[in-house]
Amino acid sequence: MGAFLAALGDVLTSEAAYINALTFAVFLAFGATGEWVAERSGTLNISIEAMFLAAAFAAAVGYSSSQSEVVALLCGMFAGFSVAFVQAEMSHRLAANQFVVGLTLNILVLGLASFLASELDPVTTKSSSISIPLLSEIPLIGAALFGRSWLFYLIYLLVPFVWWLVYRTRWGLEVRAVGENPQSADVSGLDVNKRRRQSIYVVGLTSGMGGTYLVLAAVGQFADSIVGGRGFIALIAVIFGGWTLRGTLAGCILFGAVLSFRLSLPALGYDVSGDLLASLPFVVTIVAMSVFAKRVRPPQALAQPFIRGLK
Amino acid sequence: MTTGFESADIDHGAASSPDMSEQPPRSGGSGRLGPTGLARIISAGEVVGLYALCIVAALLLSALIVQLTGGDSLAVFSALLDGSIRGPGRIGETLGVMGPLLIVALGAIISNRAGLVNIGQEGQLFIGAAFATYVGTRIGGPGPVVILALLVSSAIGGALWAGIAAALKYRRNVPEVLTTLLLVTVAAQLAGYGLKNQWLLLAPPEGRANRQQISQQLDPDSRIPLVTMFGNQFPISVFFALGGAALVAFLLARTVWGFRLRALGHNERTAQRAGVAASRYGAGALLLGGGFAGLAGGIMLAGGDFGNYTLVPGFPAEIGWTGLLVALVGRQRVFATIIVAFIFAGLRTGSGFVAATGVERRITDVVQGLLVLALLIPPALLFLRQRRRAMAARESRT
């Protein structure tokens, strides 16, 4: 325990630790903000993994053929949207089971990305960082928050925008209504499945940004293992956050920190079990859900399909 | 309210439950409206035609992807067939993969029948395999005893892991879909921890590379015996998997237990009123689902088709996820599930042969994914059409 606290102290006072933690956290946050919208509308969207991967691949291809990061971002967002489109049409128009569609898309996109990557072999370079004057000189966290690639700064725009979209627009109110009680929403004249499809498009677009950020700003080179199950972590961050945007972001930062500590602790010379440390956020999430079961409750129609006339 | 109305209402409860099975497309909804005779034959032909169309479209699309990237699509499909069934001894390999897939799928069917959404088979399987490894490499004794002990402990391991989700659902009201998913990652990390510590699962330092995370290999006499039939070699557990499938089909369709499970899945409140304790039957179904997934892990370990009788990180190799998919694509019906399990296993074993054609083997994942999407479309379309008809019929009567 003493060793662990010493390690924690070292990490908390090193600038590199904050940079690494936020690199992961922001990647998760791109996907998780969109995933939060989808879950509020009643979809437990597990194809976020596929969206990240498709976006990362498309962004890498877009960048290697145009040498433009803007084109890469557009390609990434388009790829994320395409996956979202299939998921939305299959699960909320054809009423196929959302988990089957999600699992299948994860397999399909992983296969497609690794197959096409071996054929096209996209070459990318790491996006250069733009330091914001003054702010980036704040000790400890300045470089981590304000000395980044422009793709990183998108999160500062995305989060307030999504918050506004969900809490301050009619569309957002309808999305939340559809996730809580689709039957009532339907009776009041809302097109339940349309709202759900639209909120899946939102995840597609935001995880498209996340995938682009991952390949161009965080890693710098595409590999088919680049996402490697972290889409699920973004999904779990939403659960951890108790289906609030604030909590979701806190979850992203916590999970991002844990993901990066796992890599950096052995490098600092500490013998802390990475596996047990990595499982901590999940265990905490489960415990929190059961302890605060009364206060933290999922959207009531989460993961339940809506077909008019049934129920 | 007419009787036709009531029978339609029973249908509603069925499909609006969180049960993952969409209702099978019974042509025409309630019996009164159902087509008869010739119409029924035409509608059956339509269903078959729709399926054929979708499957052909999926295969053509996969072929197109191969052709566009400069590969030979016929060679790829031929290699897939060689690797899964045509090559000598390949059916045995495919059956070896089918066994665990089928067992996972059976567990998924049981939990889904009770209206539960267990999507954590991958983790339950890993814990089962870890329990099997621990027991299989620790206890001594005659071979059959060790095999039996490791299989039983694998089932217990998987059931315990699912039991966490069951306890949280029925004690604290936490949705099982979330906990089972969360526990997948925790299972992988626990197994990873075990594979770093010699007092748990890690093999002794001699006989492995430094820092390599690998368990001790099972003794030759504590492995599931292989049988050879028509030049195909496969673990004897395949027969048990098929027998298990028949047993599950019988239990679900012909016993009081199966009936109560279905009642619970269709409408929990009605089932409770009729005296089916949701917590007992639901928790039992979750535990069984986990137990089956864990057993699949034990069989994967002791059957030798995965990991060469050792446990390594990443051991489940997505069999848990794929097994869940098998159950759902098989639309929760045991016989269909067996066929789907065989096809998915064939795609997996066939993929090894695809590399020889100069095309990246991951193309088989694409074929599999497109096939599943194609198989989802016809029942969904038919179901929606049936719903529309039922709604129209209801409106014309009121």
DSSP A179-197: HH-HHHHHHTT--HHHHHH
CA–CA distances in Å: residue B6 to residues A1, A14, B2, B29: 64, 68, 7, 12
- Whether B113 and B261 map to the same domain: the answer is yes
Closest CA to B297 of B228, B224, B364: B224
Residue A9, in any domain of the structure: yes
pLDDT band at B388 (very low <50, low <70, confident <90, very high): confident
Tell if the CB–CB gap between B174 and A289 is shorter than 8 Å.
yes
- Whether B160 and B102 map to the same domain: the answer is yes
A16–chain B nearest CA distance, Å: 25
Report the C-alpha gap between B129 and B161 in whole angstroms: 12
Closest CA to A285 of A261, A250, A260: A250
B70 contact residues in A (CB cutoff 8 A): 119
Give the count of beta carbons closer than 10 Å to the beta carbon of residue A311.
14
Longest Cα separation, chain B: 79
Report the C-alpha gap between B379 and B376 in whole angstroms: 6
Closest CA to A287 of A277, A296, A278: A296
Burial of B180 (0-12, 13-18, 19+ CB in 10 A): buried
* Average pLDDT value for chain A: 87
- Whether B278 and B309 map to the same domain: the answer is yes
Domain with A155, as residue range(s), is 2-291
pTM of the model: 0.85
**In whole angstroms, how large is the CA radius of gyration of chain B?**
23
Per the model's pLDDT, the better-predicted residue between A239 and A35 turns out to be A35
Measured between CB atoms, does A295 come within 8 Å of chain B?
no
**Average pLDDT of the segment spanning B280-292:** 90
The predicted structure's pLDDT at residue B13: 37
Domain with B138, as residue range(s), is 72-358
Closest CA to B25 of B376, B391, B385, B326: B385
Count of domains forming chain B:
2
Residue B89, in any domain of the structure: yes
Q: What percent of chain A has pLDDT over 70?
A: 93
Count of domains forming chain A:
1
Report the C-alpha gap between A303 and B390 in whole angstroms: 25
Which residues make Cβ contacts (< 8 Å) with residue A193, sequence separation at least 6?
A92, A93, A306
Closest CA to A88 of A210, A215, A203: A203
Please name every residue paired with B227 in a beta bridge, in sequence order, or none if there are none. Answer: B234
B209–chain A nearest CA distance, Å: 19
Q: A131: part of which helix (H) or strand (E)? A: strand A130-131
Residue B367, in any domain of the structure: no
- Whether B241 and B312 map to the same domain: the answer is yes
Q: Please say whether the beta carbons of B242 and B338 come within 8 A.
A: yes
Q: Please say whether the beta carbons of A28 and A252 come within 8 A.
A: yes
Give the one of B322, B369, B383 whose C-beta lies nearest to A111's C-beta.
Answer: B369
pLDDT band at A226 (very low <50, low <70, confident <90, very high): confident
- Whether B58 and B100 map to the same domain: the answer is no
Residue A165, in any domain of the structure: yes
A contact residues 112-141, partner B, Cβ 8 Å cutoff: 112, 114-116, 118-119
Residue A116, in any domain of the structure: yes
- Whether B9 and B117 map to the same domain: the answer is no
CA angle A61, A63, A68 (to 5 degrees): 155
Report chain B's terminal Cα–Cα distance, integer Å: 9
Q: Please say whether the beta carbons of B359 and B76 come within 8 A.
A: yes
Residue A228, in any domain of the structure: yes
At A252-285, the pLDDT tens digits run 998 888 878 777 666 666 666 667 777 877 888 8
Look up the CATH number of the domain holding residue B182: 1.10.3470
Look up the CATH number of the domain holding residue A64: 1.10.3470
Report the C-alpha gap between B117 and B101 in whole angstroms: 18
Residue A242, in any domain of the structure: yes
- Whether B110 and B197 map to the same domain: the answer is yes
Residue A59, in any domain of the structure: yes
- Whether B19 and B95 map to the same domain: the answer is no
Residue B107, in any domain of the structure: yes
At A97-145, the pLDDT tens digits run 888 899 889 989 998 998 888 878 888 888 777 777 777 777 777 777 7
- Whether B225 and B301 map to the same domain: the answer is yes
- Whether B101 and B208 map to the same domain: the answer is yes
At B102-132, the pLDDT tens digits run 999 999 999 988 888 888 899 999 999 999 9
Report the C-alpha gap between A276 and A11 in whole angstroms: 18
Q: Please say whether the beta carbons of A35 and A203 come within 8 A.
A: yes
Report the C-alpha gap between B98 and B95 in whole angstroms: 5
Q: What percent of chain B has pLDDT over 90?
A: 17
Residue A264, in any domain of the structure: yes
Tell if the CB–CB gap between A311 and B13 is shorter than 8 Å.
yes
Residue B112, in any domain of the structure: yes
| Count helices and strands in chain B by DSSP H and E runs | 14, 2
Tell if the CB–CB gap between B362 and A276 is shorter than 8 Å.
no
- Whether B95 and B213 map to the same domain: the answer is yes
- Whether B49 and B135 map to the same domain: the answer is no
Give the one of B173, B370, B390 whose C-beta lies nearest to A293's C-beta.
Answer: B173
Residue A65, in any domain of the structure: yes
Residue B353, in any domain of the structure: yes
